[in-house]
Structure 1
Amino acid sequence: MGVLEDKARARLFYKYLSTVYDRVNPFIWNEEMRAEALDLAEVEAGDAVLDVGCGTGFATEGLLERTENVHGLDQSVHQLEKAWAKFGRTGPVDFYLGDAERLPFRDDAFDAVWSSGSIEYWPDPVATLAELRRVVQPGGTVLVVGPNYPKSSIVGRLADAIMLFYDAEEADRMFAEAGFESFEHHLMGPSYSPEIAITTVARAPGATDEAVETESS
């Protein structure tokens, strides 16, 4: 387990990172990448969407371009303070201080769940992915963006010591163990490092045969 896969350390890390996060973030996770991921998520107007690990609200801002029903959750009050400064505490986004491993929402509460730049800090990614699956409606989309595993073995060992990095094969294992049956991976990144991120789009199981038949008819 990497140093930052400990929740207390991650909160402390983001206490200081939050002061510069919006200036640093575009070098790793920019608007073009966000737009590409949003297209993959297929969020439609009126969809209820949960942004897990919303941070300062960079992805939240993009989600608001697709739907007005957006909810954001983060474990760092310092990151949320930056989000509140952008969007306010009472709208247009409902923000929650909480743990991704124990989401404070009922089953099937959302049409889609989004999480970008958060999975690398989860101590138990499989359990957390199962939580994301729990709160999305049957057949709904769960989109997760995380750091792609470095090709260099030296850099890989350093990455492992800090946080979770993973490749498509490991993503297959995690999503399957979390109960997803249908998922696909996309590599993306800025021009100088076009494969820095791995984006997984998964469908929550449970859509009825009747619904599937209706869609195909």
Structure 2
Amino acid sequence: MTGIVNTAQAEAWNGYEGEHWASHAERYDAVNNGFNDYVLDRVGPDDRVLDIGCGNGRLTRLAAARARSATGVDLSGPMLATARARAAGVPNVTFEQGDVQVYPFAEGGFDLAVSRFGVMFFADPVAAFANVRRALSRGGRLAFLCMTALSGTDLGRVFGALAEYLPQPTGPDGSGPTSFANPERTTAVLTEAGFEDVACTRVEADQVWGRDVPDAARFIGDWGPVRHHLGMVDDATATKAKEALTAALEPFAGPDAVRLRGTAWLVTGRRS
């Protein structure tokens, strides 16, 4: 494993958070699969693709099916183990464990860098994207998905139901999962990192959170940030928070699944 500068995230993704994502790979893919094509439609047959924060490797494998090769990089040992197992027999996929901010990529080794909600946690995002830019060939492209602000979204409505009992699990906008919720900040970061033609396009997709309301409520309650905050309050408050979460999910229940309409920014740019 190469040098790590983002030690807090390394601890989380090699601890409970990474283990939960690895052991529930299909569940998390069901949440995010609807967004895949926004990125995959940009993959060409001659592209060497870098998947930033690849996690369990779903996007990496799908990109490899359309490209010359695909390499996924992530901090999480548990998720990379899942990614490698799921990619067994796919000859043009590789996975590396490391911190993208400092990973020693070969200069110009990739034509396209992609990510599905894996870029929001850099300790120094300018340094990280400058390193990604260095890894791209001249004219190389960047296309990633990141969370929007939660206000006015289905997920914001669900998390808002917890506010009386728990802190916002994603933290304030501009930090953590919503660190790139503001397109102006995102554009400024990428421009400083050396990217041109930066654009942020709001996109939407259905997200499946569970087969029914109790199943979805358990899954969200076990998600790292929610679980952490539940453990910080007394049992009575935790019970009320879980009841509020369950009630908030009821309007999104259908005959076969609990679906929320997810929102994201599709961010694109180019190395000059």
Instruction: Please report how far the alpha carbon of residue 44 of structure 1 lies from its aligned counterpart in structure 2 after TM superposition.
Output: 1.4
Gaps of 5+ in 2: 1-6, 207-259
Instruction: Show the counterpart of 2:12.
Output: 9
How far apart, CA to CA, are the structure 1 residues paired with 2:86 and 2:13?
23
Deviations 1:131-189 (A, max 9, x none): 11110011111112111122269969822357141221221121112111211112223
| Contact 1:187/1:194 (<8 A) preserved | no
Gaps of 5+ in 1: 206-217
How far apart, CA to CA, are the structure 2 residues paired with 1:22 and 1:136?
30
TM-score (norm 2): 0.65
Q: Which amino acid aligns with 2:176?
A: M
2:24 is the alignment partner of 1:20: yes
Identity of aligned residues (%): 24
Instruction: Show the counterpart of 2:261.
Output: 193
Deviates more, 1:178-187 or 1:7-16: 7-16
Instruction: Please report how far the alpha carbon of residue 8 of structure 1 lies from its aligned counterpart in structure 2 after TM superposition.
Output: 1.8
How far apart, CA to CA, are the structure 2 residues paired with 1:25 and 1:87?
15
Instruction: Show the counterpart of 1:211.
Output: none
Q: State which structure, 1 or 2, has the greater radius of gyration over its C-alpha atoms.
A: 2
Instruction: Please report how far the alpha carbon of residue 25 of structure 1 lies from its aligned counterpart in structure 2 after TM superposition.
Output: 3.0
Deviations 1:187-217 (A, max 9, x none): 223244242x111011111xxxxxxxxxxxx
Count of residues paired in the alignment: 197
Judged with a 3 Å threshold, the aligned counterparts in structure 2 of structure 1 residues 48 and 24 are, in CA distance, closer, same or farther, namely closer
TM-score (norm 1): 0.80
Instruction: Please report how far the alpha carbon of residue 63 of structure 1 lies from its aligned counterpart in structure 2 after TM superposition.
Output: 0.3
Instruction: Please give the residue correspondences for 1:1-217 in structure 2 after superposition, counting only pairs within 5 Å.
Output: 6-12=9-15, 13-27=17-31, 29-30=32-33, 32-39=34-41, 42-88=42-88, 91-151=91-151, 158=168, 159-160=170-171, 163-165=176-178, 166-191=181-206, 192-195=260-263, 197-205=264-272
How far apart, CA to CA, are the structure 1 residues paired with 2:14 and 2:147?
19
RMSD of Structure 2 on Structure 1 (CA) = 2.5
